[in-house]
Amino acid sequence: MDNKKEINKRRTFGIISHPDAGKTTLTEKLLLFGGAIQSAGAVKNNKIKKSATSDFMEIEKQRGISVATSVMAFNYSNRQINILDTPGHKDFAEDTYRTLTAVDSVIMVIDCANGVEAQTEKLMEVCRMRDTPVIVFINKMDREGQDAFDLLDEIESKLLIKVKPMSWPIGIGATFKGVYNIHKKELNLFSGNKTGIEKEVYKIDGLKDPKLPDFIGNEETNTLKDEVELINGVYGDFNQEDYLNGKVAPVFFGSALNNFGVQELLDSFIEVSPTPQSRETESRIVEPNENKFSGFVFKIHANIDPKHRDRIAFLRIVSGKFERNKFYFHTRLQKKIKFPNPTSFMASSKSVVDSAFPGDVIGLYDSGTFKIGDTLSEGEIINYKGIPSFSPEIFKEIQNDDPMKTKQLEKGLSQLTDEGVAQLFVMQPGNRKIIGTVGELQFEVIQYRLKQEYGATCSFVSRNFFKACWMTSSDDDKLEDFIKRKSANIAYDKDNNPVFLAPSPFLLTQAGSDYPEIIFHKTSEFKLDE
């Protein structure tokens, strides 16, 4: 069975950025170009702001931020494009991290006024861990912002990656006239078109074309010639292999809100970006062109449709061909399961698929069978690496505000923590539940969703812990002794693994020196620490 043709058609990538850089808007405009949607949700129409297509949770619509990863698929130029739109907010960095395990490349959106921001640097570190290929889209060029050369220097110095401009802006803000596509020697003039698709692309005979001043003016023509000459001298030719190895980032300029520069980005992306890549397991590397199916769950989301209370596991297909109603082996549970209604996504709308191939992300209806990191295969026992839980930074004990809704609270907490929204630790005596998160906003999301989706109300009491550390030891007696002595700071995670909730950096260091036989891990995927 040869799936090579289908594999080569796939392009699976994530869109990442600092909050408010225009990431969700760019996602929408890519869908618009792909014909997946007919109008842009970000457009203010009759004074009513439609919510962005990829933000389907009510709290996202209210706050104007993405807090869950959305998966969207569309066809463009004989390619199957799979976009994963990630949360930009730093409090949801762990969800973004896991999403990046499921993509083969990344488009990073940077605001031309703000440049490289803190969250952008953190996301780039994650990309660098896997040498993920990155394309940069510098957004909001129709607003006042930094000089284009300064932005390139900032990207290279802060993100530690070489850049190669593929297009170049003519002016900025009030003087913005369009972009020159260096790669294809085309001129795209800006007209501030927010609703339709920008089509003013002019074929010119490079920068020597005598018609160029007619389009942009004499002064701008001379400036553009000087700048492109400088670019070619400083940055050289585009090397696709360096891009695929994560060593150089192609850079595009535009305005996502105005649909401007998006087509150059999309056309170049499908030309240079990688097809589905291999993935590492604990035992071997799995190649996409292998005949036998395998894939891993990188996200779980409950109640995408609040009316149906459904729970969906997002599965990235790594190898072989996934087929509807065929039995597959769940490696953690050691049992076979079949899926009658696997779905593909266009934001919140779903459609049943009969088959899917490496690079595709499908949704599997889940009654509590899956956890993040679970693997499905055709029988081989494999576990994909790199989908851990990290030690939280903020810890709060949950208080049940309505004892009549205890069951709903328990169910809601179980499902939401399965999604990876936060981590749940249970302490004894008293079965006390501690929620651990990366940021404060997650507590607001948990509280909101517990009330809206499960009818349970709760409040939180801060607990003064520094780190949650998973523990392993070759000496069972020493581990048991430590758990007894530190019982006031021992909790158990969802898999019943013991976790040391260290009150301070000093006490964590002291525990390590008092018990050298015990390894204290800062992620739940212990092998990452070794």
pLDDT digits (tens, 9 = 90+) for 105-132: 999 999 999 999 887 887 888 788 778 9
DSSP state of 392: P
Does one domain contain both 335 and 367?
Answer: yes
Does one domain contain both 473 and 524?
Answer: yes
Whether residue 297 is contained in a domain is answered as yes
Whether residue 343 is contained in a domain is answered as yes
pLDDT for residue 194 is more than 60: no
* pLDDT tens, residue by residue, 400-424: 999 999 999 998 898 888 777 788 9
- Last-in-domain residue among 255, 272, 289: 272
* Lowest model confidence (mean pLDDT) among 57-71, 83-97, 374-388: 57-71
Does one domain contain both 55 and 201?
Answer: yes
Q: Which two tokens stand for residue 189?
A: 């003039």
What average pLDDT score do residues 478-487 get? 94
> Quick one: how far is CA 36 from the chain centroid?
20
Does one domain contain both 193 and 125?
Answer: yes
Whether residue 383 is contained in a domain is answered as no
Strand partners, 188: 179, 201
pLDDT for residue 446 is more than 80: yes
**CATH number of the domain that residue 63 is part of:** 3.40.50.300
Does one domain contain both 164 and 251?
Answer: yes
Whether residue 6 is contained in a domain is answered as no
According to the model, what pLDDT value does residue 391 have?
Answer: 76
Domain containing 502 equals 394-528
Does one domain contain both 442 and 371?
Answer: no
Contacts for 41 with CB less than 8 Å, ≥ 6 apart: 28, 50, 51, 52, 53
What average pLDDT score do residues 248-260 get? 90
Task: Report the distance separating Cα 130 and Cα 100, nearest Å.
Answer: 9
Other CB atoms within 10 A of residue 79 CB: 19
Q: What is the CA radius of gyration of the chain?
A: 25
- Last-in-domain residue among 240, 272, 304: 272
Does one domain contain both 314 and 225?
Answer: no
Does one domain contain both 152 and 45?
Answer: yes
State the chain's mean pLDDT as an integer: 83
Whether residue 351 is contained in a domain is answered as yes
Whether residue 83 is contained in a domain is answered as no
- Last-in-domain residue among 377, 404, 433: 377
* pLDDT tens, residue by residue, 147-189: 999 999 999 999 999 999 999 998 888 888 888 888 788 888 8
Whether residue 29 is contained in a domain is answered as yes
Does one domain contain both 254 and 311?
Answer: no
Domain count, the chain: 3
Whether residue 7 is contained in a domain is answered as no
What confidence category does residue 393 fall into, taking pLDDT thresholds of 50, 70 and 90? Answer: confident
Does one domain contain both 352 and 224?
Answer: no
Does one domain contain both 175 and 230?
Answer: yes
**CATH number of the domain that residue 415 is part of:** 3.30.70.3280
* pLDDT tens, residue by residue, 281-310: 989 999 999 999 999 998 887 655 555 556
Does one domain contain both 253 and 308?
Answer: no
Q: Is the pTM of this model over 0.85?
A: no
